[in-house]
Each structure stands twice: as structure tokens, then as C-alpha cells.
Amino acid sequence: MRADYVNLVNTHTVPVRFMYHSPETLEEALRLMREYGGEARVMAGGTDLIVDMKLRRKEPKHIVSLNKIRGIEYIVEEDGGVRIGANTKLRSIEKNSIVRERFEALYEAVRSIASVQVRNMGTLVGNICNASPAADSAPPLLVYDAVVKARSIDGERKIKIRDFFKGPGKTCLKDDEIVTEVFIPYPPGDSASTFFKISRVSMDLAKVNIAILVKLSSNVVEDFRIALGAVAPTPLRIPKAEEYLRHKPLNEENLNIVEKIVSEEIKPITDVRSTEWYRREVSKILVRDALNSTIKKLVRT
């Protein structure tokens, strides 16, 4: 194997030439995506795409910027949940009171993404479309059963977030589709959710991240959802753990079993950020810590 990248990356420029399209309507953007398909890339915040181009991982011939399209930057409550538009910046999401109050795990996750600068530029939709196995927004969206709305010139498609990720950098989107919105249903009443992350420093990609959602009825778990990131080719829910704990009391014995299930269900690897062994080990303690923190929230309310 040769390290050819040493001569390709990085420069102070974007050494990729492309046609820049800045449509003013979504319809125009969709038409452009139909026309240029696989040769085009949608740009919202640009924080991932520009890096990918600087590092020569992507060399699109066309960039379709969503910058000038009006009406896709919103956070609104509707139909039993919240709708977040494609142009909505991560920073607006963390500052939104609905998100902070009703979607704690998403709020905590968004705040932990990169830096203020990046969150001023990047969008939630961009974060999931980049499909990093470590995307911090993914575990919360997974536990909330979010729905991704993708449009092409032919119409709209609703994709369950669970079906959205297909592998590192891969989604189920077609070449001519643009994600216009993420819909996040309200979590069940009297539930609480938490996001945790372990990383090398406080501005970093996760070694492991986790989101859980719990609803208790006296001491019995009524609803339990759990998702982890950076421990498999895609962020993933752990249905086995969820099924096990449902309708059971929260005690040390059950918790141990849930931890064990999680550590068996994940498929971590060793990479530059951490080791397979460590990821498996801390996944367990993250389950415990996230549960503790969530229970505390439930007790508080």
C-alpha cells in the first residue's frame, strides 16, 4: 500500500473545479440534481463537503448549494413532533427551546458536535447525510425514530432513520434526491433521554457515543430505546437490549445483562481513535452512565 495521499492532500485551496449552482427554489435544485445526478453534490453547510474536496475524497463536477433556497430553514412543532429543515444550522437547533426541553438527547448531542463555528455552518441534515459511523446526531435520532424526508423531482419519500444509514459515508439516498427535512416524533410522555460520548479531547469525534430513552412505570421499564455510534459501520439501535429490558424492573442484575447484550451486539474496530477492546468495554459503562443520568432526569420531573 502506498501513501499517495501525501501528494494530494492538503493544499490551501480547493483544487477541484466544479460548476457552482445556487438555485433559489427547491424545485430548481431538484431539477439540477436530476440533470447532474451522480456528478453533483448538495452543499448545505459545507463543513464536510469542503473538507472532502480538499482531501480529494470527493471531486464533484457540480455543486448544488442550498444557500439561497428559502423556506427550508425552520424548526417547527407539527403532527406530533418537530420538523427540522435542511438549511437549519446545528447552532439554531441547540438554541431551540423545544429541542432543549423535549429532545434532551438531541440537544446534548448537537452541543457536542465539533465547535461553535462548525455548528454555525453545519446542518443536522448534513450531519446525517455525511453518514459518519460516529455522527453525534445519529444515536438520538435513532432513539426518537426520526423520519428523513427526501425529495426528488418525482416526489417525496419518507425514510425511517433506521433504514437511512448504509455504511460509512453511505446512505440510502438516490443520486438525484435531496433531504429536505428531518421529522422527529415527540418521545413518549414521561420519558427522558440522554446522550453521552467518550472522546480523546472535548472537541472530537466520538470513540463511542450513545443515546438512550427510558420510560418508567413505577420501577418497571415501559419503554427503553438505545442506540450507539462509532461501534459499527453505521450508528445502530440495539433491539435485543431494548426487548430484554422492556417490562422488567431496573435492577443491577438486569442492568448487567443489558450491558452484556450491548457489548455483544456492537461490532467495533480498532482505528486511530481507539481500540476494539476499549470500545466494547466503555460501551458497557456508557450504558450504565446514560441510564443513571436518564433516571435522574425522570426523578427530577
Partner 1 sequence: MSFYAIGKRTARKDSVAKVTGWEKYASDIYLPNMLHARVLKSPFPHAIVKKIDTSRAEEMGAIVVTFKDVPDKLFCPRLVSTPDATYKDWKVLTDKPKFVGEPIAAVAAETEELAQIALESINVEYELLEPVFDALESMKEGKPRIHDKIMLNDKIIDIENNVACRLELQEGDLEEAFKRSDIIIEREFRTSRGYHNQLEPKVAVVNPEPDGGLTIWCTTQTIHNTRLLISEIFNIPVSKINVKKLALGGGFGSSIQTNIVVPIAVALALKARRPVRLAYTKEEDMHEHSSYQMIFRLKIGVTRDGKLTGGFMENIMDIGAHQIQAYPLLGTCAGWWVSLYKLQAIKYVGVAIYTNKIPSCAYRGYGNPQVTWAVETIMDELAEMLGMDPIEFRLKNYVGERDLFWGQGPTVKSIIKSCGVEEILKKGSELIGWKNRPKPGEQKGRFRRGIGMARGYHTSSAGAPIPSQVIDYSGAILKVNEDGTVDYITGLVDQGGGTLEAHAKIIAEELGLPLKNVNIVAADSQTTIYDVCTHASRGVYAGGGAALNVARQVKEKIFKLASTILNAYPHTLRIRPDEERGQAVIYVEGLPGKEITLGELATLARIKNLGTIAAVDSFRPPACPPHFTGYFVEVLVDTETGIVKPLKVVIGADVGTVINPDLAEGQLHGGFIMGWSRAILEDLKYNEEIGDIECRGFIIDYKMPTAADIPEEIKTFFVETYEPTGPFGAKGLGEGAQNPAIAAISNAIYNATGVRFYELPITPEKLLEKLKEKEGRKLAVEDAVKLT
Partner 2 sequence: MKIELIVNGVRRVIDVEPNELLINVIREKLGLTGTKYGCGIGECGACTVIVDSKPVLSCLTLAVEVAGREITTIEGVAKNGRLDPVQEAFVEEGAVQCGYCTPGFIIMAKALLEENKNPSRQEIIEYIKGNLCRCTGYINIVKAIQKASEKITLKERKTT
**According to CB under 8 A, which residues from 134 to 193 bind partner 2?**
none
In the chain the first and final C-alpha atoms are separated, in Å, by 56
Give the list of residues 6+ apart from residue 24 with CB closer than 8 angstroms, or none: 68, 69, 70
**According to CB under 8 A, which residues from 201 to 260 bind partner 2?**
202-203
Of 29, 30, 32, 47, the one binding partner 2 (CB under 8 A) is 47
The one of partner 2, partner 1, none whose footprint includes residue 272, by CB under 5 to 8 A per kind, is: partner 1
CA angle 150, 60, 4 (to 5 degrees): 125
Q: Which residues lie across from 182 on neighbouring strands?
A: 84, 148
Per the CB < 8 A criterion, the answer to whether 80 and 185 are in contact is yes
Task: Pick between residue 115 and residue 217 the one whose CB is nearest to partner 2.
Answer: 115
The length of the chain, given as a count of residues: 301
Q: For partner 2, which stretch binds (CB under 8 A), given 5-13, 69-77, 101-109, 233-241?
A: 5-13
Residue 67 contacts partner 2 per CB under 8 A: yes
Q: For partner 2, which stretch binds (CB under 8 A), given 9-17, 128-136, 154-162, 257-265?
A: 9-17
Shortest Å, Cβ 292 to partner 1: 4
Task: Pick between residue 32 and residue 198 the one whose CB is nearest to partner 1.
Answer: 198
CB hemisphere CA count around 124 (13 angstroms) = 35
Of 8, 76, 116, 220, the one binding partner 2 (CB under 8 A) is 116
Of 8, 55, 285, 298, the one binding partner 2 (CB under 8 A) is 55
Strand-by-strand arrangement of the 75-78 sheet: 75-78, 81-85, 178-185, 147-152, 155-160
Shortest Å, Cβ 248 to partner 1: 12
The one of partner 1, partner 2, none whose footprint includes residue 282, by CB under 5 to 8 A per kind, is: partner 1
**Listed residue (279, 288, 234, 296) closest to 104, CA to CA:** 296
Residue 200 contacts partner 2 per CB under 8 A: no
